[in-house]
Structure 1
Amino acid sequence: MRTATISRRTSETSIDVTVDLDGTGAYAISTGVGFFDHMLEQLSRHSLIDMQVKTVGDLHIDQHHTVEDTGLALGAAIAQALGEKRGIRRYADALSPMDETLARVAVDISGRPWLVWKTEFSTKKLGEMDTEMFEHFFHSLAQTAGLTLHIETLYGSNNHHIAEACFKGVARALREACEIDPRKADAIPSTKGSL
């Protein structure tokens, strides 16, 4: 079973994350930041990765540590659940429309963390969430999950739609990249022999 549980404790946050890569998109998310919870729910539902995320952070300061550390813990859980990455498709991409917005996402589960972020927001907050933290979340996720992750908003005007298109696009790409390819179910998808 491709599951993992990560507990992360610092003086700034206390986080427990459990993932099941072969789930149905079931989730239980609580970070203390409502819009962030909504986006993580989208990530779970559309990736079909079951996620339980419980974050208690120093929100009396700001959202930075809460969002960053949640990304780090979630990425670490995904990496642990992937194990040696035998049989995975590894590469995937997705176009994600959300009304007037279109986002494009590409992912390589390469073991080489990298984020290309080409998305802008015209407002500083969505609900109570700082929009600058979306990029930071995906950077943290890519870092510990070992993802090369490209996220680009091709066009769009509604900030909620822009954020949601990005999260749903990442979800759809992750879903495909994490899937087992029945044609190479026991092979590591690299000529190097490891990822």
Structure 2
Amino acid sequence: MRTASIIRKTHETDIAVEVNLDGTGAYDVSTGIGFLDHMIEQFSRHSLIDIKCHIKGDLHVDQHHTTEDSAIAIGQAITQALGDKAGIGRYGDVNSPMDEALSRVSLDISGRPYLVWKAAFTQDKLGEFDTEMVEHWFHSIAQAVGITLHIELLYGSNNHHICEGIFKGFARAMRSAVELDPRKGGAIPSTKGILGQASL
């Protein structure tokens, strides 16, 4: 089983994360931000990556550190569980519908972190969650895992649907990318013979 756990403590957050890349989408998430919990749960359920994520953050300041560090810690755990990435699919490409909203998520677990973000929200908050932090969450997890990540909202009007559709699309793309492909015979999916390691 490809599993990992991360303990990350700073002056801003205290985080414990566990992941199982070969799971069933089971989750146990508590960040102190209800909508962020909901999105990480969606990521777990639709990627089939089991995620346990408990955070105590400085929410009396704002949501930035908790949101950012949740992505960093989950990303670090995924990176650890992937190891040398031998046999993985590496790529994922998903069109993700959520009612009237349609988004596209394409990614490559290349070791070269890069985020292209072409989406926007028309309200400042979803529940108590600051919508400006959605892009930053994806930037942080792309950096932590080493993902080349392209996210584009094709169309949509409901902010909740837009955000949830993007998280579900990311989940399904990650499922394709981290799953082991038996045809690869355990080979690293690169002609270089190695996939770069992200650092953060």
Conserved? CA contact 1:88–1:185, under 8 Å: no
For residues 94 and 18 of structure 2, what CA distance do their matches in structure 1 show? Answer: 25
- Matching residue of 2:198: none
1:45 partnered with 2:20: no
Whole-Å separation in 2 of the counterparts to 1:107 and 1:56: 30
For residues 105-139 of structure 1, the C-alpha deviation after alignment (integer angstroms, 9 at most, x for no partner) is: 00100011111111100000000000000000000
| Residue identity in the other structure for 1:91 | Y
**Kept after mapping to 2: 8 A contact 1:4/1:81:** yes
**Residues 5-50 of structure 1: CA deviation (Å, up to 9, x unaligned):** 0010000000011000000000000000000000000000000000
Counterparts of 1:146-157 in structure 2, within 5 Å, are 146-157=146-157
CA distance in structure 2 between the partners assigned to 1:123 and 1:163 by the alignment: 12
Secondary structure, counterpart of 2:180 in structure 1: coil
Q: TM-score, normalised by structure 2?
A: 0.97
Please give the alpha-carbon distance, in whole angstroms, between the structure 1 residues aligned to 2:185 and 2:104: 28
SS of aligned partner of 1:88:
coil
Partner of 1:2: 2
* Runs (5+) with no aligned partner, structure 2: 196-200
TM-score (norm. length: structure 1): 0.99
State how far apart, in whole Å, the 2-side matches of 1:114 and 1:78 are.
17
Q: Distance in 2 between matches of 1:137 and 1:92?
A: 19
Offset at residue 185 of structure 1 (A): 3.0
The answer on whether the counterparts of 1:104 and 1:166 sit within 8 Å (CA) in structure 2 is yes
Q: CA RMSD in A?
A: 0.5
Letter of the 1:98 counterpart: M
User: Is 1:110 aligned with 2:110?
Assistant: yes
Cα separation, 2, equivalents of 1:119 and 1:81 = 30
Report Cα offsets for 1:76-111 as digits up to 9, x if no partner: 000000000000010110010000000100010001
Are 1:19 and 1:77, in contact at CA under 8 Å, matched by a contact in 2?
yes
Taking the aligned partners of 1:153 and 1:11, their CA distance within structure 2 comes to 35
Matched residue, 1:160: 160
Instruction: Measure the CA separation in 2 of the matches of 1:155 and 1:12.
Output: 36
Instruction: Look up the SS of the partner of 2:16 in the other structure.
Output: strand
3-state secondary structure, aligned to 2:116: strand
Instruction: Please state how far the C-alpha of 1:181 moved relative to its aligned partner.
Output: 0.8
Superposed, 1:176-195 pairs within 5 Å as 176-195=176-195
Aligned twin of 2:141: 141
Unaligned runs of 5+ in 1: none
Instruction: Please state how far the C-alpha of 1:186 moved relative to its aligned partner.
Output: 1.1
